[in-house]
Structure 1
Amino acid sequence: MALDSQLLEILACPDTHHTPLTYDADAATLTCPECSRVFEVRDGIPVLLLDEARRPGEAS
């Protein structure tokens, strides 16, 4: 399920820098270009919890 383009415009990393996220529809993830955290999109809902984010190379 693709995320709404208006939602993608306002989504930002929940860490203190609040950098806009990059969406990968094929992987169903949102990535922060500043801290490299990867947030999953589950059933069309972005999970923007720092505790559940992973760094590149970590198992999902």
Structure 2
Amino acid sequence: MAFKSNVKLTIALKEPDLDAEDLEKQARNLVRELKDLDEVEKANLVAVTQTPQGSKGY
């Protein structure tokens, strides 16, 4: 029997040295790389209107 995990992960990119356009390009590159992984079922960009409660920044 194959193990299937249902994990949802939200990643917020922040880079003070990049303008909004460059930051979006980086986010799109990351999504494209994630989609190429066999282990990833779905990856896409979402609009961020609020930081989810309990979020942590590194």
Q: Give the TM-score range, shorter chain.
A: under 0.3
In terms of fraction of residues, the more helix-rich structure is: 2
TM-score (norm 2): 0.27
- Larger RCO: 1 or 2 (CA < 8 Å, sep 6+): 1
Larger radius of gyration: 2
In terms of fraction of residues, the more strand-rich structure is: 1
